[in-house]
Chains A and B, each alone.
Chain A
Amino acid sequence: MSTKRIPKLIVGFGKSYALLSNHRQVDTAVVFVHGFGGSPTSTWRNFQDLVDEYASDYPWWATSDLFFYSYDSVKTPVGVNAEKLASFLNDVLYQPTLREIRPADFLPQSGASMESFNWGTSNYKNLVCAGHSEGAVLIRRLVLDRFYFLKKAATKSAGQGSGRKTAHQRLQKASKADFLLNAHMRFFAPACLGTNFSSLFGFATSFSALISAIAASSLVRNELLPDSPILKQIQTETESACDKFPLLRAFTAKVLFGDRDQIVYTAAYNCDDIAYQVGHDHFSICKPKYVYKRPLQFVSL
């Protein structure tokens, strides 16, 4: 059976949408988070089509729902965006009506004689977070926020006087069971070690990217500079958490850079697995094509 997908707007999250698979055993949610000045369709161009067109080569995608997240990347600070992303994930991963289609809602006449239906079923066992550039920064902030939330809860429930060891054990247990903290991270050209905003000329490989960079809020640009306290904090805390909890998948990422990237620093955290792709720049690295299928393979488990 060939995979069929339906698009669904995720209400409350701007231009975010999902492409939901009709496979009987959908068990994976892939969340795509674009970068600075990007957008859900443009940044991830061709994922929308090629995952199904190449189903025979990459059957893994058939059992995956795709979520393309949209957010204001040029004016809103990273911390705020990470919190919104958390809210988005809560909505889409646990929303019981996500797959429900009710024709009567938008076809009042015909819909009355048309039954509502569920577009397949899902029981997500895997979460893959695919981030491009600033999107990867958001995801990493989100993971830390979740980790600290559990840490606080563990400390509180262990109670005063129970000692660090008990709190640590509780945190370990809670983290091990947490869906997000065990997600698979796939980052294309992450801006985690900073962006070369000091010279905007690097952006001139794309007209729109250059204009975005010129028009962006200075706050957001500063947050993405290599010496930004926001980025430093995310790096230090992620590497430290990874040392202490090496089995938690979400602290480590698979990272892919193009050898022609002039926008971000092409390095990764100690805990990451980094690779380079010849012939690609910052923008093309995350767009699969007929002649460049690596992104399809890179994201899959």
Chain B
Amino acid sequence: MTDDDKVAIANLGFFKSAILDPVMLDYLIASDIHPDSVTPAFWTVETALWLKLGFEIGYFDGDNALEVLFQSSEQLLAAWSELVVRELVSPEFRRWCDFITSEGKPALDKERFLSRPESGFGGSRLLPAMFQHYLLLTAELVGDEDAKFFLDSIGWTTDEEWQLRREGHGSWTFGTVESLCIGFANTAQHLEESQDYFYEAGVRAAGSLDSSEGNRLISHENEFVELEGRSRVIRSWRFNLGKANVKERYFKFAGDLVAELKQGGPTWMDTRLSTFNMLRHLLAQWTGVLEKQEIQRLWSLYTGNVDGTQEITLDLRSTPTEKGQV
């Protein structure tokens, strides 16, 4: 066995222990305790997509990835069926799940799983490193009960249930309001890091700086964009920001939390605006660039001025600074 073979096997072992196994366990538990929640089904299907993508870029060995996929096929197909029945699968998401056949009873198609798109990935050393980074960030979310509770609550509940959870009397067994807040912070951190990593990896892929592989990396810039695009499709369900009411929840929730700091002075007002802008930039990777009217509306929700009469007069183009933790 070569070192590369060993790495591919060890990568799969890590994927299984850090992501796949916890997700499958969650799915089994949630189907008993929270049968209405759709996020465990999404997480389950997401793991299959990471397996497929990891195989395509050479992070996993194909046959072994396939074996792992088949090990979890029962839950995977059940989760897939659940999402299809509820009409929650977007066309783009479905496109990359083509190894799950939908004619009649769902099944796994081995050949499709092991096929690579014609415009496949090449051999850039950057791609496995990027892919691993996505996995590490994903593992952080998978292992984070607060973030999972937050994502389920803000993205996939009715307005009524969301409100109940925010006020501390929702139907979720394990969640608390504190958990929602911490989950929001952790999710925001995840978004910040994904965004910053994307920017930095882009610089690396472009080879515009002093990378030791600069010349080689330039030819892989398209692959970098492709990988980022694919990973974005895989992750997009988590935030569900295509839905207007979900987007509003993010801003309203943020506004309510920031309002806790209210002092009324210029520092407070500047902080309120800069925090709004940071959130707006953070979500832009999923919402697209917002139009001015939409920004005004979200600002009104954020500041609690729901009739929308208060306008922003300060410059909204400011960019977020470096993010992180204390």
Interface residue ranges, A against B (CB under 8 Å)? 4, 6-9, 11, 14-15, 17, 22, 34-43, 45-46, 48-49, 53-54, 56, 70, 73-75, 101, 103, 105-110, 114-115, 117, 119, 132-134, 191, 195, 199-201, 203-216, 263-264, 280-284, 286-287, 289-291
Within 8 A of A (CB), among B300-326: 320-326
- Bound: A54/B129 CA distance, A: 13
Which of A4, A286, A291 contacts B209 (CB under 8 A)? A291
Q: Is the Cβ of A38 less than 8 Å from the Cβ of B324?
A: yes
Q: Is the Cβ of A203 less than 8 Å from the Cβ of B326?
A: yes
Q: Is B46 an interface residue (CB 8 A)?
A: no
Q: Is the Cβ of A208 less than 8 Å from the Cβ of B188?
A: yes
From known contacts A15-B143, A208-B192, infer whether A35 and B67 are also in contact, taking CB-CB under 8 Å: no
Contacts of B324 in A (CB 8 A): 38, 42-43, 206, 208-209, 282-284, 286-287
- The B interface is mostly helix, strand or loop, or mixed, namely helix
Q: Is the Cβ of B67 less than 8 Å from the Cβ of A109?
A: yes
Q: Is the Cβ of B326 less than 8 Å from the Cβ of A36?
A: yes
Q: Which of A134, A199, A204, A264 counts the most B-chain CB atoms under 10 A from its CB? A: A204
- Bound: A107/B18 CA distance, A: 15
The segment from B81-89, B176-184, B220-228, B291-299 found at the interface with A is B176-184
Contacts of A109 in B (CB 8 A): 67
In the complex, how many angstroms separate the beta carbon of A5 from the nearest chain B beta carbon? 8
- Interface digits, B266-281 against A, CB 8 Å rule (1 contact, 0 not)? 0110010011001100
Q: Is the Cβ of B325 less than 8 Å from the Cβ of A9?
A: no
Chain B, residue nearest A195 (CB)? B326
The segment from B97-105, B154-162, B195-203, B236-244 found at the interface with A is B195-203
In the complex, how many angstroms separate the beta carbon of A49 from the nearest chain B beta carbon? 5
- Bound: A49/B95 CA distance, A: 31
Contacts of A54 in B (CB 8 A): 212
Q: Is the Cβ of B321 less than 8 Å from the Cβ of A205?
A: yes
The number of residue pairs between A and B whose CB atoms lie closer than 8 Å in the complex comes to 225
**What 6 A-B pairs have minimum CB-CB distances, sorted nearest first?**
A283-B324, A38-B325, A215-B181, A6-B10, A208-B189, A284-B322
Q: Is the Cβ of B11 less than 8 Å from the Cβ of A6?
A: yes
Could you give 30 example pairs across A and B, Cβ below 8 Å?
A7-B10, A9-B139, A15-B140, A35-B325, A39-B189, A39-B325, A41-B193, A42-B190, A45-B193, A45-B197, A48-B132, A53-B212, A70-B140, A75-B182, A109-B67, A195-B326, A199-B267, A203-B326, A206-B278, A207-B278, A207-B320, A207-B323, A208-B186, A208-B323, A208-B324, A209-B189, A209-B326, A214-B257, A283-B324, A290-B204
Q: Is the Cβ of A208 less than 8 Å from the Cβ of B325?
A: yes
Q: Is the Cβ of A212 less than 8 Å from the Cβ of B258?
A: no
Q: Is B136 an interface residue (CB 8 A)?
A: yes
In the complex, how many angstroms separate the beta carbon of A48 from the nearest chain B beta carbon? 7
Q: Is B246 an interface residue (CB 8 A)?
A: no
- Bound: A9/B15 CA distance, A: 9
Contacts of B192 in A (CB 8 A): 42, 206-208
Chain B, residue nearest A34 (CB)? B325
Which of B63, B64, B189, B271 contacts A42 (CB under 8 A)? B189
Q: Is B16 an interface residue (CB 8 A)?
A: yes
Q: Is the Cβ of A213 less than 8 Å from the Cβ of B326?
A: yes
- With A6-B14, A9-B18, A42-B190 known, 9 other A-B pairs at CB within 8 A are A53-B129, A103-B9, A119-B6, A205-B321, A207-B188, A212-B186, A214-B258, A280-B322, A290-B203
Q: Is B219 an interface residue (CB 8 A)?
A: no
Which of B11, B182, B267 contacts A212 (CB under 8 A)? B182
Contacts of A106 in B (CB 8 A): 12-13, 16-17, 68
Q: Is B211 an interface residue (CB 8 A)?
A: yes
Q: Is the Cβ of B203 less than 8 Å from the Cβ of A41?
A: no
Q: Which of B1, B181, B189, B212 counts the most A-chain CB atoms under 10 A from its CB? A: B189
Contacts of B139 in A (CB 8 A): 9, 15, 17, 41
User: How many of chain B's residues touch chain A, expressed as a range?
Assistant: 35 or more
Q: Is B169 an interface residue (CB 8 A)?
A: no
From known contacts A17-B136, A36-B325, A56-B212, infer whether A207 and B63 are also in contact, taking CB-CB under 8 Å: no
Chain A, residue nearest B189 (CB)? A208
In the complex, how many angstroms separate the beta carbon of B113 from the nearest chain A beta carbon? 15
Chain A, residue nearest B281 (CB)? A207
- Bound: A263/B321 CA distance, A: 14
Which of B64, B211, B326 contacts A107 (CB under 8 A)? B64
- Bound: A173/B210 CA distance, A: 48
Q: Is B36 an interface residue (CB 8 A)?
A: no
- Bound: A282/B140 CA distance, A: 22
In the complex, how many angstroms separate the beta carbon of A183 from the nearest chain B beta carbon? 23
Q: Is the Cβ of A201 less than 8 Å from the Cβ of B271?
A: yes
Contacts of A281 in B (CB 8 A): 321-322
Which of A11, A115, A195, A211 contacts B185 (CB under 8 A)? A211
Q: Is the Cβ of A132 less than 8 Å from the Cβ of B260?
A: no
In the complex, how many angstroms separate the beta carbon of A220 from the nearest chain B beta carbon? 11
Q: Is B3 an interface residue (CB 8 A)?
A: yes
In the complex, how many angstroms separate the beta carbon of A221 from the nearest chain B beta carbon? 10
In the complex, how many angstroms separate the beta carbon of B190 from the nearest chain A beta carbon? 7
Q: Is the Cβ of B181 less than 8 Å from the Cβ of A41?
A: no
Q: Is the Cβ of B132 less than 8 Å from the Cβ of A7?
A: yes
- Bound: A157/B63 CA distance, A: 59
Q: Is the Cβ of B268 less than 8 Å from the Cβ of A201?
A: yes
- Bound: A46/B130 CA distance, A: 10
Q: Is B45 an interface residue (CB 8 A)?
A: no
- Bound: A7/B54 CA distance, A: 14
Q: Is the Cβ of A9 less than 8 Å from the Cβ of B212?
A: no
Contacts of B197 in A (CB 8 A): 45-46
